Structures are given as C-alpha cells and as structure tokens.
Amino acid sequence: MKKRIGILTSGGDCPGLNATIRGVAKAAYGLMDCTLIGIENGYKGLIEGTYRELKPKDFSGLLTLGGTFLGTARTPFKKMRVIEEDGVDKVKAMVENYKKMKLDCLVTLGGKGTHKNANLLSEEGLNVIGLPKTIDNDIYGTDVTFGFQSAVDIATEVIDRIHTTADSHDRVMIIEIMGNKVGWLTLHAGMAGGADVILLPEIPYSIESVISAIEKRCKEGKDFTIIAVAEGAKTLEEARMKKEDFENHRKTWGYPSVAYYLMDELNKKSRFETRACVPGHQQRGGSPSPYDRVLSTNIGAFAAKLIDQGIYGVTVSVRNNDYVATPLKDMAGKTKKVDPESTIVKNARLIGIKFGDEGVK
Ligand code: F6P
C-alpha cells in the first residue's frame, strides 16, 4: 500500500535541512511506493493545516541549498498544551490534521524543542521519527547533529579573519559564538581557529583569570589575544545564582550580549585594547559543508529505512560512526553538554588554551 509520509522542519534553520529532506525522499522513493507531504513552517503548519503534496522533482537542487524550502517556525513545547487567545487546542489540531492528511508517519527535523514536540505527538499515538538538526550540537543521544559542522566552519573562518586585525593592532579580540546554553560550537571553532581563550557555559569564568591569560601571553611576547566566547558563557558569580536571580540580573545588565560585557570589563580592568565581534546568524546561513551533506544524506536515508520497516517513536542518532534509532522518550528533554573533564577539553588545556577558570578557587 502506498505510504503517505509527512515531513516538517521546526525551530531555527540551519545548513543541512534541505539535504536531509532530500535524503529521506530519495531513499523513500527507492524503497517503497510513497507520497511525501511537505508541511509548511514546522508544527505551526501542522496546527494550521498548511501543507502540499510534493513530487520527486521538488527534491532536486536541495543538497547544497541552505535554510529550509518548507519554512520553519519556533513553536515552544511549553505552550503546546496551553490554549492561548486564539482558542486553538494545538495538540488536538495536529492529531486531526495528521489524520486529515491520511499520514502513515511524520518526519520532524529539528532540535531539542522539536524532539520534545515529536515525543508528545508520539505519546498521542502518531507515528513520528525525529531527525537531529542544530548548530548547537546539544541533542542528547547523538554524537553529532547536522548543521553543527557547517557552523563550525563558518565560525572558524570568522576567527581566522579576526586574527590578522588582532595581530596587526596588538589587540584583544573577542568573538561571540552561538550555541545557546552549551559550548560545543565555541569549543570546536575556538580550537579550529586557534583561539587563546575559550569561554564556555559549562566552565564558568572569572575576569581576573582571563586577564592573567592575556598578561601571560604578553610576557611571552605575544601581544594579541583571541577570545572565543560562547553566547551562553557565565561568570562564576552568575553561575552561582539561582535561575530567577540570574534572569533578573541579565535583564538589568545593560549589555546586548556577553561579548560586549567582556569587552567592557577588559577595557575597564586591564590595559589591553579590546574589541568585540558577533557573527550571529551568519553561523546558521548558507550552504551545508561537505561533511554535513554526507551526514544529512545518511540520516535522511536511514530514516527512510525506518519508515519502510515501520519503526516509529524514534530519532536517528549517530553513535560511533554508525546510525541508530534512539527512542524519543529516552532523549526528549535532555541536553548534551560539554563535559569539562572530557579529553577534548583536557587536550585544549594541554596545548595552552585557557578556559577562564585557571587559578580560580
Ligand atoms: O539553536 C540555534 C540557535 O542559533 C542558537 O545557537 C541561538 O541561541 C538561537 O538559535 C538563536 O535563535 P533565534 O534565531 O530565534 O534568534
């Protein structure tokens, strides 16, 4: 019997979404008799019933295309069961539209929030498969997510380019890197770009320790310093605050983001001329890297195999260079963080990279 496969992309866009959709479609067409239904703008489209039947030709030209041709939106999990002003019961609407579209299954491409919603729909009895997308690489249960490596490449290029100005002007240059509340992107781009100081949410820092690192470099005759700071990095004092106190503190902080805070502190408390650079959404833009094209194609094709075998309620994970199905219920709601005691952090310390916690009690 012909299978009807719904597909949507949810949360922030990133390189590799289209390549993954293409992987699902091409493998599905090869494995079974099927129709793919593209749902627009993520769960929003599933709630509102905006979708279209896709044809094989719709999947051409997608491998290298950035963003998502289906559109995306953020639909927070915590609001899914809340009836808002429009009076719409979102969960009921999604289940009804799934049935209206006569879907056999739904493939949802997205990050942590998307997977929580996927798990919710799976608990509602729908056949769902999640696919792990995010530049943050924070999805639990998978070694890597598609979009991450492309973002590492972009952020690394930013650091590479900043090096020349830092060196020419003997400046401290701060590059703020995305990654939400985890430091994967900053750690990898920081190491790839040869950053001297890397500040991560998982390793709270002190300004004094950062200044000592810069001073030490100066004593060694290195008159510039590159600091890669994660957008979610916190000082020791901030890390000790209760969630609510931290949120209030940041509301009255007066800085657009952490790079500007750090720049201000260094300009006030040290003798070093400091500048901040925030590449922002560029890190999510453009064509996927070759690594991500291969990863996306594999993840998409693996998902098609699961659909063919009728295996649902799972996400496709990468573990030890292989592709496996992980139950949504085991990973939804969990975050994969950088372990401060991991080999990569220890190796970074071994080559002299500072994390802003040195000499801190
Ligand atoms: O999750 C991807 C991400 O780019 C994070 O790194 C960042 O914190 C967030 O999304 C930015 O979200 P928005 O695009 O909604 O501003």
Q: If you take atom 8 of ligand 1, which residue's CA is the nearest one?
A: 180
Rounded to the nearest integer, the mean pLDDT of the chain is: 97
Q: What is the pLDDT of residue 184?
A: 98
Q: How far is C-alpha 335 from the geometric centre of its chain's CA atoms? A: 11
> Which residue's CA is minimally distant from atom 10 of ligand 1?
12
pLDDT band at 174, cuts 50/70/90? Answer: very high
pLDDT digits (tens, 9 = 90+) for 180-214: 999 999 999 999 999 999 999 999 999 999 999 99
Residue 4: strand pairing partners:
35
Instruction: List, for residues 300-348, the tens digit of each pLDDT value.
Output: 999 999 999 999 999 999 999 999 999 999 999 999 999 999 999 999 9
The response to whether residue 151 sits with its C-beta less than 6 Å from ligand 1 reads no
- Write down the pLDDT at residue 53: 98
Q: CB of 145 closer than 6 A to ligand 1?
A: no
In terms of domains, do 130 and 203 share one? no
Task: Report in angstroms the alpha-carbon separations of 186 from 182, 214, 227, 341.
Answer: 9, 19, 10, 16
Ligand 1 atom index nearest CA of 281:
4
With a 6 A CB cut-off, is 178 part of the ligand 1 pocket? Answer: yes
Q: Measure 104 CA to ligand 1 centroid, in angstroms.
A: 31
pLDDT, residue 179, reads 98
Query: Is 71 a member of any domain?
Result: yes
Ligand 1 center–CA 14 separation, angstroms: 10
Same structural domain, 296 and 271? no
If asked whether residues 104 and 238 sit together in one domain, one would say no
Q: What is the pLDDT of residues 339-360, one digit of tens each?
A: 999 999 999 999 999 999 999 7
Q: What pLDDT does residue 286 have? A: 98
- 105 & 220 share domain: no
> What pLDDT shows up at residue 1?
85
Cβ of 134 below 6 Å from ligand 1: yes
Catalytic residue among 13, 136, 138, 292: 136
Put simply, whether the predicted model's pTM sits higher than 0.85 gets the answer yes
Cα 316 to averaged position of ligand 1 atoms, centre (Å): 22
Q: Is the pLDDT of residue 292 over 80?
A: yes
Amino acid (one-letter) located at 326? T
> Is there a single domain that holds both residue 9 and residue 141?
yes
Looking at the CA of residue 284, tell me the nearest atom of ligand 1: 4
Token duo for residue 126: 């729908």
* Mean pLDDT computed over 267-271: 96
- pLDDT (tens digit per residue) in 5-23: 999 999 999 999 999 999 9
Q: Which domain holds residue 171?
A: 151-284+339-350
Whether residue 172 lies inside any domain: the answer is yes
Number of domains in the chain: 2
Verify that 261 and 158 share a domain, yes or no. Answer: yes
- The closest residue, in CA terms, to atom 7 on ligand 1 is 180
Whether 78 and 14 map to the same domain: the answer is yes
Residue 216 included in any domain: yes
Structural domain contains residue 327: no
Q: What region, left, alpha or beta, does residue 81 occupy, with left being phi > 0 and alpha being psi -120 to 50 degrees?
A: alpha
Using the predicted structure, report yes or no on whether residue 361 has a pLDDT greater than 80.
no
Same domain, 261 and 228: yes
My answer on whether 346 and 217 are in the same domain is yes
**Whether residue 81 sits in one domain with residue 42:** yes
CATH code: domain of residue 98: 3.40.50.450
Query: Does residue 228 belong to any structural domain of this protein?
Result: yes
Same domain, 181 and 250: yes
Distance 282 CA to ligand 1 centre (A): 11
Query: Which residue's CA is the nearest one to ligand 1's atom 12?
Result: 12
Q: Measuring CA to CA, how many Å separate 106 from each of 68, 112, 143?
A: 17, 17, 23
What is the 3-class SS of 199-238, one letter each residue? EECCECECHHHHHHHHHHHHHCCCCCEEEEEECCCCEHHH
pLDDT at 253: 96
Residue 201 beta carbon below 6 angstroms from any ligand 1 atom: no
Give catalytic status of residue 136 as yes or no: yes
Q: What is the pLDDT of residues 219-236, one digit of tens each?
A: 999 999 999 999 999 999
Task: Read off the CATH number of the domain in which 225 is found.
Answer: 3.40.50.460
Alpha carbon of 180 to ligand 1 centroid (Å): 6
CB distance 110 to ligand 1 below 6 Å: no
Considering the domain boundaries, does residue 358 fall inside one? no
Would residue 328 count as lying in a domain? no
Q: Is residue 361 part of a domain?
A: no
- Same domain flag for 24 and 130: yes
**Tens of pLDDT, residues 22-60:** 999 999 999 999 999 999 999 999 999 999 999 999 999
pLDDT digits (tens, 9 = 90+) for 59-89: 999 999 999 999 999 999 999 999 999 999 9
Question: How far apart (Å, rounded) are the C-alpha atoms in residues 187 and 58?
Answer: 37
